Structure 1
Amino acid sequence: MKKKKGLKLVIGILSILLIIDIVASFYFYNLAIERNTKDFLQGNDDLEVSAEAMEVFTEGDWRTWVDKQEFERWEMTSFDNLQLNGYFLPAKEPTNKTVILAHGYLGNGLDMGLYGKYYYEKLGYNILMPDARGHGQSEGDYIGFGWHDRLDYVKWVNLVMEKLGEDSKVVLHGVSMGAATVLMSSGEDLPDNVEAIIADSAYTSVEDLFAYQMNRMYHLPKFPFLTSTSVVTEMKAGYSFEEASALKQVQKTDIPILYYHGSADTFVPTEMVHELYENTASPAEIMTIENAGHGEGFVVEKEAYVKKLNDFLDRYVK
């Protein structure tokens, strides 16, 4: 009788824990993956930026520049029939060089005007700034964290070639989630027209990022919560956290990659960029920017950032 009671107690406890895990999994999916209003990052100390960077991000002259441009609206249908939106601006002088810029989590294509302005005004590139699936004017009811987006970027590259010519030379430049996106695309069958990739503040994989953040923000272990949230994500969004790996993709690429990362980045820990760099199969370079937080490098050390960028592009974009 005592054994039966003990067994019932154990089963009861396990059932309660299972229910808690299931509820938590759907909660975290809704929190991070589903397209909706998100406020959980407000007040996150890891995303605090310097006053200098905040002024540039929110009130910099690049925003006025973006407002004044007459962007062409490009549309593209994704592999899963989503209508995706992009903003294209041809260079002042005809060129076969185009940069495709990839924005971060909860942003939109026009946010990359901070970088687009430099490519346009100083380097003379055409610029294309897509809205990622689940962001901006693009369709999608979930956020892909770069994984499904990697296939979207293959199609954006092909669209550039279709519209601008087979002799197009393409650079992919992403920040944060956008950096992970372009790295994930690097392992796909991209045309040789993609001559360089710039990855600023990238994470190694969605699993690694969420495990780190789940522990840092909620003090929860990877198992079982992250594992079950990944299962829910695969059911509802069609990808798992484990497969969504920039690290695995750069091990297959032959495209030269330039990595940037802030030494003070605690949102995507700096050690991730070193792991990516050390495992990149193609020619790769890395620049860590002292005292820069997440995605701050271009603002905090712009002169050094653009010098490194220019040298890299001169070497690989002929």
Structure 2
Amino acid sequence: MKKLTKKRIWQWLIGIFALLIIADIGATLYFYRVACVRNDSPISQVKTTSPNYALVKNFNMLPKTTVTIENDKLKLDAWYVPANKATDKTVIVVHGFRQDKTAMRQYGELFHQLGYNVLMPDNRGAGQSQGNFISFGFHDKYDVIAWANYLTNKNPQSDITLYGLSMGASTVMMASGEKTLPKTVKSIIEDCGYDNAWDEITYQGKVGYNVPAFPLVYSVSLESKIRQGWFFQEASATKSLAKDKLPILFIHGSKDTYVPTRMVYDNYKAVKSNVPKKLLIVKGAAHAKSFETNPTLYRSTISKFMNEYNPISTGQ
């Protein structure tokens, strides 16, 4: 009888353990699909009531060329908008999570008004670019480098600034530490980027789903390694910034609860003290809303940074 009881206990324990494994696998597949699998649902755009809606309308009227490159066996798509006055200066504008280039029109118009050529890519797995997965900057950083090389090959005299918003911001920060980044890239501007994918996804799991990091984030990260070749910890802006040698402007909203404001301080501190770095915290701005919250301050800060580190020469 005693042996039978022990056997049943073990059977119950094994059964419970098996159910937990099955539940974790199911949750892992669900959350991986939410976080990392392409979704072409319509994205939110700048509202007609926004103070920046006029920028979107202006951008829509600009002449654009659709350009494509191939990187990592994926065809990638972008808009190229030339400056009104011929220049070698170009800004690559990189969009955020589950967005595409159309969501970045206010930023494209901002840099166009400042006198720059603008290249606005669709990240892999978004818009008109190929790809089935979202890589939180891990693979995207190499795509940004490929776009910079594209511009450089077209014009070896190019002076390039990388600008990114949210996931795009983390992407350009990750690109900053890569040895393959061409010398034509002169500066970086990031707006509301996270420090690394692990911290951001763990944070979103907690605030959005009340899910602890263990075991789910660990298993979703393992799923990413299996399907895309990278763990969440490997998509780290902070680690890349420790190798950055380019001037960089950090922007973040004081009321950002999607990528918490504290992350910008970690990113800022990661840059070595001998590298030019500037920080703008926009009071009252929520995630990716700094430009719309205080357009004048945003424009003037970016204009000053660009005039210092990638200026439009008077001869152009």
Counterpart residue number, 1:46: none
Displacement after TM superposition at 1:58 (Å): 9.9
Counterpart residue number, 1:29: 32
Displacement after TM superposition at 1:144 (Å): 1.6
Q: Is contact 2:169-2:192 (8 Å) kept?
A: yes
Is 1:308 equivalent to 2:301 in the alignment? yes
Structure number, greater radius of gyration: 2
Q: Is contact 2:52-2:292 (8 Å) kept?
A: no
Q: Residue deviations 1:33-57, cap 9 Å, x none?
A: 1112569x99xxxxxx9xxx74456
Between the two proteins, the alignment pairs up a number of residues equal to: 305
Is 1:8 equivalent to 2:8 in the alignment? no
| TM value normalised by structure 1 | 0.91
Displacement after TM superposition at 1:62 (Å): 2.3
Q: Which runs of 5+ in 1 are unaligned?
A: 43-48
Change (3 A) 1:160 1:249: same
Q: Is contact 1:56-1:299 (8 Å) kept?
A: no
Q: Residue deviations 1:60-79, cap 9 Å, x none?
A: 1223223222211110101x
What is the rounded CA distance, in whole Å, between the counterparts of 1:237 and 1:61 in structure 2? Answer: 39
28-37 vs 129-138, greater mean Cα deviation: 28-37
Q: Is contact 1:161-1:168 (8 Å) kept?
A: yes
Q: Secondary structure at the match of 2:231?
A: coil
What is the rounded CA distance, in whole Å, between the counterparts of 1:162 and 1:111 in structure 2? Answer: 27
Q: Is contact 2:166-2:194 (8 Å) kept?
A: yes
What is the rounded CA distance, in whole Å, between the counterparts of 1:68 and 1:238 in structure 2? Answer: 41
Q: Secondary structure at the match of 1:247?
A: helix
| TM value normalised by structure 2 | 0.91
What is the rounded CA distance, in whole Å, between the counterparts of 1:113 and 1:55 in structure 2? Answer: 13
Is 1:273 equivalent to 2:264 in the alignment? yes
Q: Secondary structure at the match of 2:232?
A: coil
Q: Which of 175, 188, 199 matches 1:197? A: 188
What is the rounded CA distance, in whole Å, between the counterparts of 2:143 and 2:200 in structure 1? Answer: 22
Q: Residue deviations 1:158-184, cap 9 Å, x none?
A: 001111x21211000111111011111
Q: Secondary structure at the match of 2:255?
A: coil
Counterpart residue number, 1:214: 205
Displacement after TM superposition at 1:237 (Å): 2.4
Counterpart residue number, 2:217: 226
Is 1:183 equivalent to 2:173 in the alignment? yes
Change (3 A) 1:13 1:226: same
Displacement after TM superposition at 1:236 (Å): 1.8
Q: Is contact 2:39-2:98 (8 Å) kept?
A: no
Q: Residue deviations 1:105-145, cap 9 Å, x none?
A: 12111322201112112x21000000011111000011121
Change (3 A) 1:69 1:212: same
Counterpart residue number, 2:280: 287
Q: Is contact 2:55-2:110 (8 Å) kept?
A: no
Q: Which of 100, 111, 125 matches 1:119? A: 111
Change (3 A) 1:297 1:56: farther
Q: After the TM superposition, which parts of structure 1 deviate over 3 Å for at least 4 consecutive aligned residues?
A: 53-59
What is the rounded CA distance, in whole Å, between the counterparts of 1:8 and 1:186 in structure 2? Answer: 54
Change (3 A) 1:59 1:191: closer
Counterpart residue number, 2:314: none
1:1-318 equivalent positions in 2, closer than 5 A: 1=3, 2-37=5-40, 54-55=47-48, 60-78=53-71, 80-121=72-113, 123-163=114-154, 165-189=155-179, 190-281=181-272, 282-318=275-311
Q: Secondary structure at the match of 2:79?
A: strand
What is the rounded CA distance, in whole Å, between the counterparts of 1:76 and 1:126 in structure 2? Answer: 18
Q: Which runs of 5+ in 2 are unaligned?
A: 312-316
Residue identity opposite 1:10 in structure 2: L
Q: Is contact 2:250-2:264 (8 Å) kept?
A: yes
Change (3 A) 1:155 1:31: same
Change (3 A) 1:24 1:60: same
What is the rounded CA distance, in whole Å, between the counterparts of 1:17 and 1:185 in structure 2? Answer: 39
Residue identity opposite 1:187 in structure 2: G
What is the rounded CA distance, in whole Å, between the counterparts of 2:148 and 2:309 in structure 1? Answer: 17
Change (3 A) 1:73 1:54: closer
Please give the root-mean-square deviation of Cα atoms over the aligned residues, in Å: 2.0
Q: Is contact 1:87-1:110 (8 Å) kept?
A: no
Percent identity between the two aligned chains? 37
Q: Is contact 2:188-2:247 (8 Å) kept?
A: yes
Q: Secondary structure at the match of 1:147?
A: coil
